[in-house]
Structure 1
Amino acid sequence: MNSGLILYVPGVVLVTALVIKLPTLRRGEHAPLMRSVCAMLLVACVVLFLAAPPSISAVNDLTGITNFSAPLVYCVLTAFSGSCIVLVINWRGGPPERVRRASMLCISAYGVVTVFLAVLFVLGEAPVERLRDLDTYYASTPFIREMIVLYLLAHTVGSVVLTVLCWRWLRQIAGALRTGLALIVLGGLLDIGYLTTKFAAVFARWSGRDWDYLSTHVAPPLASAAALMVGAGFIFPLMGQRASSTWRTYRQYRLLCPLWLELQGSSPSWAAAMKIAWWAPVELRKSHREAAIHDGLLSIAPYFSSTVRIAAFDAAIFQGIVRERAAVVAEAAMIAAACRVHASVHPSKAPPTEQHGAPRLEYTGDSDSMVSLSRSLGSPVVAAARRHASMTEGARHE
């Protein structure tokens, strides 16, 4: 059963990855790249499950044909090689017509190879069931020999093309895609190691030597590791981009907290903002927080003071802060001061307005700008503006 686990375990991992990606496929059912990813994962899962000795025995018993699993596994493995190349073709992109033509050429070529594998098995004779060493046991049997060599050659071409294309592309890109390509290259090298052991064992049989252990004991772990690496390589960029986007959103959500707390109580929407569940998607929590911030800013807008902003800007420049950063600090100081004035005003009292209207905010147009504004609230310049506003309002009410 250990020989079965070597292939079943990575098979379960790839099934899990396929289940994760299926919703994406449903949402974008016409995306060639996503279809290629799911097709490759599906074929890889089938290969790993069918190639395990317990599955080979079960398929042979079910069909009643001795060694029927051999051409079945070889055909599915050939389909996997073709699906990997098709996926790389779609992954690299280019003019749609050229991508479609290259994909169809690859599918046609590997389809022909699959038909030949089935025909060669029918023409040959393999009366003795072999669960683990069919490649070497029938290495010299007419037609079965050709079937074995053909599947190894087809798989070699697919593996080498995949590895070389990804290696060339690896040097041109960065980020999560580069990591994915590196995993595919590693998987391709492991797969080439698997093919090398298979070829060595078959060639040894032809020359009268017994290197069957290479095919029986060394090749399966290499195939298992290769499938995991290649599968992970195709999945990682897609999952990595999602994880990177989620982390960026979460980081912005947390960095907006100072601004959100500064405006706390300034708008009736705060009660609703506090009710959102902590387990809600971070995108929803961030949108909710930004909405509450905008509502709060709208409530305190009548208390914005150009005088406070100019004084804070001058103080920031005096402290050696560059002009772009000083403008953000000045706006944060104006917001902090307005929050203090707003908190001290009786609800029944009409808010004051400047002669030329309330100043406009310049750093609330997008999430990044709001984050910069929020981080600036910790500046000594903002703290000074906050204290000055509190003291002024306190003296006015005495």
Structure 2
Amino acid sequence: MNGPDYYIPAGALAISLAFKLPALRSNWRDPLLRSVCALLALAALVFAFAAPPTIAAVNRWTGIPNFSAPLVYCLITAFSASCLILIVNWRGGPAEDTRRVSRRWMALYGAVIVALVILFALGEAPQERLRDLDTYYANTPYVREMIVLYLMAHSLAAVVMTYLCLRWSLQVRGWLRCGLVIIVIGYLFNLSYDCTKIIAVVARWFDTDWDFLSTYLAPPLASVGALVSAIGFVVPLVFQRVSDSWRNWTTYRQLGPLWHELQGAAPQGTSLVRIAWWSPAELRITQRESDIHDGFLHLGPYFDQGFHSGAYHQALAEGAGPETARAVADAAMVAAALHARTADPEGRVIGNAQEQQPPSGHGPRDLVRISQALRHSSVVEAARRRAAVRSGSGPNE
């Protein structure tokens, strides 16, 4: 692998991090968001500093042959810790338990990083090796232990992550499960990287040259594993938000028929609250629900429980379930009340009517059912026709 093979994924990860930074600035206390940003930053740094041109440049700038080796190993170790901490925060649970487990992983991998630096300082690695340091110094005291330690730490993280994500994926559905499966696939590549490195190093201990495993096969496995794992972490966070946004806008549109019909029920001179076109879907849904409930209040004197009861039993007879039948009945009563309100421009009914029971749906899901029934139900259309005939001779006659 050459420089671009490392710098391109590093750039892609840096761009992903840049998109996350505004959210991090506004919500710094969110441990999940901090963990995601730390993972993306460390993954980008691992790719950038593991590139052979960067390795040579760092060695030259520091004046220490192979100084890049402990630097890259420490970054890989920190990245492994960030993955474990992210999965702990992502899965959730009691806040104190989450913090305690996260601190333990940080302490363990922090100790590994310190040990890597100490072992490199104690060892002798005078010959610069840009691609095959692991096998070239596999028998060198202290440097050998440094190599084994970082491989063991990385392997531990890969095994734990694979186990946790696989077990968690069996308990969840949707985008979260998809992301966890992607992470598992990525860590299988990471485990393959560790295996090839370890085999090549152990082969050197027995005077066997299997360096090609470490030099040529392991780096692509690590690159694929890191990228796939990072994608697995990002996919649920991004696509779940897109899915939630799509669901909210769908709910907003589905409430449209009921909202539009009830606009005519408001008294003359009543102005609806306007919100900016860029307002989020959640706010628009809240406004639309409020307008609908206001419309129900204005129509209250015209609600006829006879329409409600008749439409409910007719919907049941046509095979609708209880929830659907209630929504159809509510929609039929609303449609009839709208006709009655139109036929009573002077408001004579309002002054004489007793308080009526409003439609039973109060949440977005119930209101959506009423809205859909208002547009598509044949029972509601029949109620409209009966209400029109009745309103022709005056309201509530």
- Structural RMSD (CA): 2.9
1:83 aligned onto 2:53: no
Give the 3 Å change call, closer, same or farther, for CA 336–95 of structure 1 in structure 2: closer
The answer as to 2:363 corresponding to 1:370 is no
Tell me which residue corresponds to 1:382.
380
1:360 match: secondary structure: coil
Which amino acid counterpart does residue 369 of structure 1 have in structure 2? Answer: D
1:393 partnered with 2:388: no
User: Secondary structure of the equivalent of 2:350?
Assistant: coil
Structure 1 pair 273–132 and aligned structure 2 pair: CA distance change class (3 A): farther
Please name the residue that 1:194 is paired with.
193
CA contact (8 A) 1:305 1:358 kept: no
1:34-45 correspondence runs (5 A): 34-45=33-44
Against the structure 1 CA distance between its residues 101 and 183, is the aligned structure 2 distance closer, same or farther, given a 3 Å change threshold?
A: same
Cα separation, 2, equivalents of 1:141 and 1:178:
44
Q: 1:322 to 1:187 in 2, by over 3 A?
A: closer
- Deviation for aligned residue 1:356: 5.3
Deviation at 1:97, TM superposition (A): 4.5
Stretch deviating more after TM superposition (225-234 or 96-105):
96-105
Q: What's 2:49 paired with?
A: 50
Shift of 1:192: 0.5
Kindly provide the CA deviation profile for residues 42-89 of structure 1, in whole angstroms up to 9, marking residues without a partner as x: 222221221122222232233232221111010111111222223333
Quote the Cα distance in structure 2 between the aligned partners of 1:373 and 1:64: 75
TM-score by length of 2: 0.87
Instruction: Check the 8 A contact 1:316/1:326 in 2, yes or no.
Output: yes
Q: CA deviation at 1:351?
A: 4.4
- The 8 Å contact of residues 273 and 289 in structure 1, kept in 2 or not, is answered as no
Structure 2 vs 1, CA of residues 394 and 61 (structure 1 numbering), >3 Å: closer, same or farther?
Answer: farther
The answer on whether the counterparts of 1:302 and 1:351 sit within 8 Å (CA) in structure 2 is no
Is the aligned partner of 1:359 residue 2:362?
no
Instruction: State the secondary structure of the residue aligned to 1:362.
Output: coil
Distance 1:249 1:136, change over 3 A: same
* Counterpart amino acid of residue 385 in structure 1: A
Measure, in 2, the Cα distance between the counterparts of 1:160 and 1:134.
25
- State the alpha-carbon separation in 2 of the partners of residues 83 and 3 from structure 1: 26
Q: 1:383 to 1:227 in 2, by over 3 A?
A: same
Question: Quick one: distance in 2 between partners of 1:130 and 1:269?
Answer: 82
* Count of residue pairs brought into register by the alignment: 393
Residue 191 of structure 1, CA deviation: 0.1
Once the two structures are TM-superposed, the CA of residue 382 in structure 1 deviates from its matched residue by: 0.8
Higher deviation after alignment, 157-166 or 23-32? 23-32
> How far off is 1:107 after superposition?
2.0
> How many percent of aligned residue pairs carry the same amino acid?
48
Change (3 A) 1:94 1:315: closer
Contact 1:260/1:292 (<8 A) preserved: yes
Residue segments in structure 1 that go unaligned for 5+ positions in a row: none
Compared with structure 1, are the counterparts of its residues 294 and 18 closer, same or farther at alpha carbon in structure 2 (3 Å cutoff)?
A: same
